[in-house]
Chains A and B, each alone.
Chain A
Amino acid sequence: MSPFSAHPGTLGKPLVLFLILTAGIASGITLFSSASTIADWFKTATSGLFLPILLSLIVTFLLDPLVLRFERHLHNRTLSIFAVYALLIIIITLLVSLIGPVDWKGMLDALRADFPRYFARALEYFNQLFLRLHDQIPYLENYNIPAKMRQWAEEILGIILLATPRSAMRIGSLFLLVPLFSFFFLRDSQRIARSLISLAPNRYFEMVLDIYAHVSWQLAHFIRGRILEALIIGVVVWMGLSLTDIRYAPLLGAVAGIANLLPYIGPIIGMIPGLLIALVDLGTGPQFWWIFCVYLLIAQVLLDNFILIPILISRVSNLHPLWVILAIVMGGKLYGVLGMIIGVPIASIIKITLLEVRHYRSNFSLSRDIAPGRD
């Protein structure tokens, strides 16, 4: 078997080599497999934490300016955070007692019951459309589009039915975890960042500190802008839809706001459920066109394009459509629907970071060229 066995005298050296190689490969495989087990453990352990941490970061970014405002007068960050929390609780209590609570859970349950009906009606509608199309373009028949759409619809329905009970169980823990995490993020984020920066070697310390300051400033603005944009769009769509007889207006507002985080295709995705429900429940009357106007003209064109984007979001964070698609696909692969939504903002964050670092580096290397004879 071994080519070395023909020379028994020189067997020793190759054998040792062979043993070492085998041991090396074996330990490599062991390390690799154990590393992937550790990664698996890590993934399992943190899987439930992803959403609370994400929400806490969102809350932190939103509340930070408010806490800062309090801190100027109170001179104590912890106290300021408590003050902001107290203020929030008062505002929420007031709002709830004034408007009355929005029955999210009841609405979700009703939607789950209604969902198949909406899909059946939509499919019926599309079937008719395709039948008509087939008369004109017989070539389409080969593709059997209605069957494919039915398949997709069933898949989406399955995901929603599966996800709701699990997320309902999580919501309770969110109410506990999110304020807790946000509190510590608000209080200690600066300290954590400082201690991380202080690890930089002396020679690069100033550069690291400067880049960090730039990047964190840009990121805070971008993230806060995106969250506020989603919130405002959501509320406006909710208000606009509430004027009609459409059901699930708050839910549709939330969907529109969250979908708005995705550039280019987000607004269209956010529009689909609302239009679908309007079409099925209300038909193509004046109400349907009003809903269409709310989504397209008021929320998208007027509010988002002319008011929110110029004020809240800088042009720096504009991503090329190709990157948007890549970010959505990769986000979806990693974290499902949630990943699809936050993939694009994260891609923007990476872009902002890279741009800032490159900007700084170009200045830095310029100075190296100007100063002759430096080390």
Chain B
Amino acid sequence: MNPFWSNIFRKPGYEGTLAYFLGTIAMFSELSPGELKILENLVHLRNYDLGETVFAEGDIGSGMYIIRSGRVRIAMKDDQGREHPQAELETADFFGEMALTIPKQRIVTATATEPTVLVGLFRADVHDTVRKHPVLAAKILLGLTQVLSERLQQAALRQREHLLSPPDHAPTEPA
């Protein structure tokens, strides 16, 4: 879109709102401004201190988190209980989206590595949206499906690499 036109239709200060932020996330790219406004009231804003656990491996997950500001470390624990960092996520990254579909145990631990603001979207609210705003729910779930299938394909590719390459190192699961 021509920046001239988009600037006219955009309300002042819109870039700072949560709705605008959510629109920049790939998962919600299909949502209209009106739908983003509804989504804004569906999500929960949560503040985390440095070193605070967002969720731990083995918890029953109930939703996904998007990083509004700050950083989050994703780590896995081995049998001895030692943590193996898998990824360091920053603003506009998201994690935990698998729990949005069914209540499953978390397979990683997420910890805030600096004061962090997270936007949480949870299964209960998505279920509620299916009844209230079916079109919006369909768009959210389509976005989720895209993300999940991308992850699945990555995992499959990685597994194929492991199968084809000589087994010289221990296999690691994707986060």
Chain A residues close to B by CB (< 8 Å): 68, 71-72, 75, 194, 198, 202-203, 205-207, 209-210, 212-213, 360, 363-364, 367-368, 370-375
Q: Decide if B132 touches A205 in the complex (CB within 8 Å).
A: no
- Residue in B57, B79, B123, B133 whose CB lies within 8 Å of A374: B57
Residues from chain B with a CB closer than 8 A to the CB of A68 are 131-132
Q: Does B132 contact A367, Cβ atoms closer than 8 Å?
A: no
A367, B58: Cβ atoms under 8 Å?
yes
The answer, yes or no, to whether B105 is at the interface (CB within 8 Å) is: yes
User: In this complex, which of A75, A194, A213, A367 has the most chain B Cβ atoms within 10 angstroms of its Cβ?
Assistant: A367
Is B61 an interface residue, CB under 8 A from the partner? yes
Q: Is the CB of B124 within 8 A of A210?
A: yes
Q: List 19 A-B contacts (CB under 8 A).
A: A75-B34, A198-B44, A202-B47, A202-B48, A202-B52, A202-B53, A205-B120, A209-B44, A210-B123, A213-B123, A213-B124, A213-B127, A360-B60, A364-B59, A364-B60, A367-B60, A372-B81, A374-B57, A375-B56
> Which of B44, B58, B62, B123 meets A371, CB within 8 Å?
B58
Does B28 make an interface contact (CB < 8 A)? no
Do residues B132 and A206 form an inter-chain contact, with CB atoms below 8 A? no
Which residue of B is nearest A203, CB measured?
Answer: B53
Contact residues in A for B34 (Cβ distance below 8 Å): 75
Write out the residue numbers on chain A whose beta carbons fall within 8 Å of the beta carbon of B132.
68, 71-72
Decide if A370 touches B105 in the complex (CB within 8 Å). Answer: yes
Q: Which 7 A-B pairs have the closest CB atoms?
A: A371-B58, A373-B81, A213-B124, A206-B62, A367-B58, A210-B62, A367-B105
Interface residue tally on B, bucketed by range: 20 to 34
Q: Which residues of A contact B131 (CB under 8 A)?
A: 68
CB pair A205 B60 closer than 8 Å: no
Closest CB-CB distance, A359 to chain B, in whole Å? 11
Closest Cβ–Cβ distance, residue A258 to chain B (whole Å): 30
Q: How far is the CB of B48 from chain A (nearest CB, A)?
A: 6
A363 to B63, CA, bound (A): 16
Contacts of A210 in B (CB 8 A): 60, 62, 103, 122-124
Nearest to A368 among chain B residues (CB) is B58
Chain B residue at smallest Cβ distance from A360: B60
Contact A207 B60 (CB under 8 A): yes
Total cross-chain contacts (CB, 8 A): 73
The secondary structure that dominates the B interface is mixed
Once the chains bind, are B57 and A371 in contact (CB under 8 Å)? yes
A264 to B156, CA, bound (A): 59
User: In the complex, A375 Cα to B81 Cα: how many Å?
Assistant: 10
* Interface residue B172 (Cβ < 8 Å from any Cβ of A): no
B47, B60, B127, most chain A CB atoms within 10 A: B60
* Chain B residue, CB-CB nearest to A71: B132
A210 to B61, CA, bound (A): 9
**Interface residue ranges of B55-95 to A (CB < 8 Å):** 55-63, 77, 79-81
19 other contacts beyond A207-B62, A210-B124, A370-B105, with CB at 8 A cut-off?
A75-B34, A194-B44, A202-B46, A202-B54, A205-B120, A206-B61, A206-B122, A209-B63, A210-B60, A210-B62, A360-B60, A363-B60, A367-B59, A368-B58, A371-B56, A371-B57, A371-B77, A374-B77, A375-B53
- CA separation between A72 and B131, bound complex, in Å? 8
Interface presence of B134 (CB below 8 A): yes
Tell me how far the C-beta of B122 lies from the nearest C-beta in chain A, rounded to whole angstroms.
6
**Chain A: minimal CB distance from B84 (Å):** 13
Contacts of B128 in A (CB 8 A): 213
Q: Are B133 and A206 in contact (CB under 8 A)?
A: no
For B61, the closest partner residue in chain A by CB is A206
**How does the 8 Å CB contact mask read for B23-47 relative to A, with 1 for contact and 0 for none?**
0000000000010000000001011
Q: Which residues of B contact A372 (CB under 8 A)?
A: 79, 81
Question: Which residue on B lies nearest to A369, using beta carbons?
Answer: B58
